[in-house]
Structure 1
């Protein structure tokens, strides 16, 4: 399924989609709450649908309209069939931990991309907590099996530089452990804002966890009860970054639906854009972004890895050398994002090179249209769509249906701002998949 993107000038107002990360977390807490939870403004995309589907398998009753009404079971069920997480790494990691709270065998798997994701650190951590959990193929990757019998609690040691989703999963599950749990994080905690978001949502459902000042330890009191609530999902800075940088490069737009103050790590995009000389201001409920000449920059993305593909596009138009570093975890996403970002932007004429843990870009460069492979990676597809707006000649992006993983309305929103994007007939079915 292909999109053809032409050089375009953007103008108008667009509302950022709801946060995928917060939607996942609200669904999980609602599953763990025996009462009825109302979730307003949820994001419906392939990843969050995976969490909803598995929540149903584990006993949740779900009514899905514009909002979500979720009633959690008194006891999580161990499904008889495999729990297929499709391509959602968040679903896989969190529900692997939750499976320990069942009273039976759970098997979690996913698509080809997900079956390449590392799980060893999480499986070992569960083992330290008295849970029988393992990789079925013995390679530390999905499919995995968990024999649920509850969580003993106690001390557990885990790396913090592979995936923050491991720690989020442990936090959700260990709140219901038999004993107090102390998570000792043995390395620098990368993507710390995502763990902060997990604790924030848990607290709104009546459950607590206490991180140390240095974030090398988190204490979770035992036998806590999740309490039903009304939760409203905020807008998503990760997805909004694509809109903002599109405006910064090719027009003047306003992005609404975002809280000016947010725990989301990717809200750092605002300070970053200002640092790069981009005109961006918050006024009357939204961010106004105006086309600007960006300055080159060096950025540590250890807490904001999802921004890398679209930052690389912006860097192509910045004068001088831009260095993006501390992004080695991107090699284990839907694609090896350091490699795929470099490969696809080079096709468009970018002077870009991959490093061990990041990317170096020399700019500015006038990009030209090319035939692009999305590598079935939603962030690569969206970043190259934005690149196509400033390229000379048409940019043809294969596999744009993958965008429905996180932002199903992205193409439609871009078109509403004036982007010249033509979808082939099959690609028009993308939005119907959700």
Structure 2
């Protein structure tokens, strides 16, 4: 299915958009809720990833399919490893079967888990025979995916002797690790993170606890981009957001000052406003190692504003829903961009050319669809497989329509 976006103008009056809860927070809390049923969750994400996670945690089936949900695959692998006397197999889409999970499986097996591969070594699908894990000491390579680390941390308090996790090498996406630890702290689990070692204390008793999920900052990034590409004075309000966020992508508020976008914090909401135009001679240079999910949005923003950029710290993008660096290069070059990539960076040279009526392939990647949508403020564009946004933001296209973006299937 293709969706054509005609060149549009963002409505200048203040518009209020309610964005679903963060799937990163939601999926962590769902796993904790499965371990500690006393937890009640508000503002849960309505994303596909969270729906698959919730379904998997509530089923008695011995066969689970998480489709494209990478977070669910990692977190559920750890969860079912500690479900005593239960055996399950976990599979996913063809792309999921190409996404490595060996580092996590090795770490869990070091703790005493019984996990084996059903097809190719190092990749899903997996067979997991749940058991009590009595070991507490484990080491893990820290530079590949923070989700491996968070998966271990989330079950750490349920291990008989807690968890003592040593992180080897450069640690990637530290904000996501801190998010996991802070959510554990909120339910009463004692944690220590010093140097490269994380300790999780055993924890059994929990009183009834209510937690509200903050809305997703990654989803907010597309509105930052839309405001950056709009006329001075254009404004939008997004709910539900906190000034002291657990999410690493909240760095958007600081980054988009470069593009002339101000962020005002209110009770449970933020207002984004275009206050100045960026000088096209400016060269954006950012290390996004702690917020790689917003790289696509920033790259498209720079291209649309005729601004050069160098984005680094992107090594984890190669093992996402697609190889996002290759996908970005391919689709931006269709539009007339000059792009070069390495294993962990993207370089884009400024150009005033933006081709019209280009079809953007999305590669089963929700962020490809949403990152390119703001270009509709500059040119007519076609988004292929547009429904892929349901993975993280099912109401995305309706929300764009509400601010004046013209769409035709």
1:329 aligned partner: 316
| 8 Å Cα contact 1:180/1:221 also seen in 2 | yes
The corresponding residue for 2:78 is 97
CA distance in 1, matches of 2:244, 2:273: 18
Contact 1:178/1:223, CA 8 A, preserved across alignment = no
Matched, 1:380 2:368: yes
- What are the ranges of 5 or more consecutive residues in structure 1 without an aligned counterpart? 58-78, 425-434
For residue 44 of structure 2, what is the aligned residue in structure 1? 42
- 1:267 corresponds in structure 2 to 250
In the aligned structure 2, how far is the partner of 1:165 from the partner of 1:152? 22
Q: 1:51 aligns to what?
A: 53
Tell me the SS of whatever aligns to 2:46. coil
- CA shift, 1:225, in A, is 4.0
Kept after mapping to 2: 8 A contact 1:136/1:144: yes
Q: CA deviation at 1:364?
A: 4.2
Query: In 1, distance between residues paired with 2:186 and 2:133?
Result: 23
Say yes or no: does 1:21 pair with 2:24: yes
Could you tell me which of 287, 293, 317 is aligned with 2:277?
293
* Residues 320, 245 of structure 1: alpha-carbon distance in 2 compared, 3 angstrom cutoff: closer
Counterpart for residue 124 of structure 1: 106
Specify the alignment match of 1:82 in structure 2.
Answer: 63
> What does the per-residue CA deviation read over 1:186-237, in whole Å, with 9 as the maximum and x for residues that have no partner?
011111111111111122222232111x3x1101113544554111111111
Q: Are 2:21 and 2:214, in contact at CA under 8 Å, matched by a contact in 1?
A: yes
Within 2, Cα distance between the matches of 1:187 and 1:255?
A: 40
> Which residue matches 2:350?
363
SS at 1:250 equivalent: coil
Cα deviation code 1:27-80 (max 9, x no counterpart): 111111133x322111112100011101102xxxxxxxxxxxxxxxxxxxxx44
Q: Tell me the TM-score normalised to structure 2 length.
A: 0.92
Q: CA separation in 2, counterparts of 1:227 and 1:111?
A: 38
Q: Tell me whether 1:163 sits opposite 2:145 in the alignment.
A: yes
**Deviations along 1:348-385, whole A, 9 cap, x unmatched?**
11222222212111114331220111111100001111
Which sections of structure 2, spanning at least 5 residues, go unmatched? none
2:128 aligned counterpart, secondary structure: strand
1:309 aligns with 2:312: no
Give the corresponding residue for 1:188.
Answer: 170
Counterpart CA distance in 2 for 1:248 and 1:277 is 6
Q: What's the C-alpha RMSD, in Å, of the aligned pairs?
A: 1.7
Taking structure 1 as reference, are residues 334 and 277 closer, same or farther at Cα in structure 2, changes over 3 Å only?
A: closer
- Helix, strand or coil at the partner of 1:316: helix
Could you tell me how far 1:154 is from its partner in structure 2? 2.2
Q: Indicate the residue corresponding to 2:389 in structure 1.
A: 403
Deviating above 4 A after TM superposition, structure 1's stretches of 4 or more consecutive aligned residues are none
Determine which of 209, 217, 228 is the counterpart of 1:248. Answer: 228
Q: TM-score, normalised by structure 1?
A: 0.87
Deviations 1:156-209 (A, max 9, x none): 010111111111111111211111321000011111111111111122222232
Alpha-carbon distance in structure 1 between the residues aligned to 2:191 and 2:67: 30
SS in 2 for 1:371: strand
Aligned to 1:107: 89
CA distance in 1, matches of 2:330, 2:206: 46
Task: Give, in whole Å, the separation in 2 of the partners of 1:105 and 1:396.
Answer: 45
Matched, 1:236 2:216: yes
Displacement of 1:291 in angstroms is: 6.6
Residue aligning to 1:338: 325
Q: How far 1:407 sits from its partner (Å)?
A: 0.4
8 Å CA contact 2:224–2:261 kept in 1: the answer is no
